[in-house]
Amino acid sequence: MTKQERADHIARVLADLYPETPIPLDHRDPYTLLVAVLLSAQCTDVRVNQVTPALFALADTPESMAQVPVEAIEAIVKPCGLAPRKARAIRDLSQLLVEHHGGTVPADMEALEALPGVGHKTASVVMAQAFGVPAFPVDTHIHRLAQRWGLTKGKNVVQTENDLKKVFPRESWNALHLRIIFYGREHCTARGCDGTVCDICRTCYPRRRKPVQTKKS
């Protein structure tokens, strides 16, 4: 298979497996999604969904969150890890949303990335899932699968994102990045598949015998 043939095959398989692509993080609006995605860094979606009800009961708008002491936020988000940093970012970005964006989350990649604690991946998720703007958020899990499937030789998520955008139609990006996440969790896990076990890996590389070592910068 060529790279494009692999990409086309993968897109068909994932669309059949996951015709629906529900957003894994519980949220009510762009702001609560932004906070949930920020909390998900180095944390599972399941854990975030366990934590956010208490956080959003305390404050669920930029205006209200900006008035909450960082210590109170930190106490709630502690199970998500990196609590001091995340709590400060949540409070600070809430203040900036009030001061510079009228208390609303901007549908603009550059403006999102300028917020405290919001990197390119987080901004991409918000653009895709809150505003429906085509984006291809790539985390370490998608990076690993893209290498196993021969869709990139990139050593970092930036290069992998660029490579994936070249082989998949723009209109498919938002659903596809979720489908890849779903498949990675169920079939092509970090420990359960090394590039030789799951159906997609075996179909794309039927003669592969050696495990694929993920390249990282």
Q: Which sequence positions are flagged as catalytic?
A: 121, 139
> DSSP secondary-structure letter at 115?
S
Closest CA to 31 of 99, 112, 100, 110: 112
Distance CA 10, CA 29 (A): 31
Distance CA 58, CA 72 (A): 9
The answer to whether the beta carbons of residues 113 and 123 sit under 8 Å apart is: yes
Distance CA 50, CA 80 (A): 9
Q: Report the chain's terminal Cα–Cα distance, integer Å.
A: 27
> DSSP secondary-structure letter at 156?
S
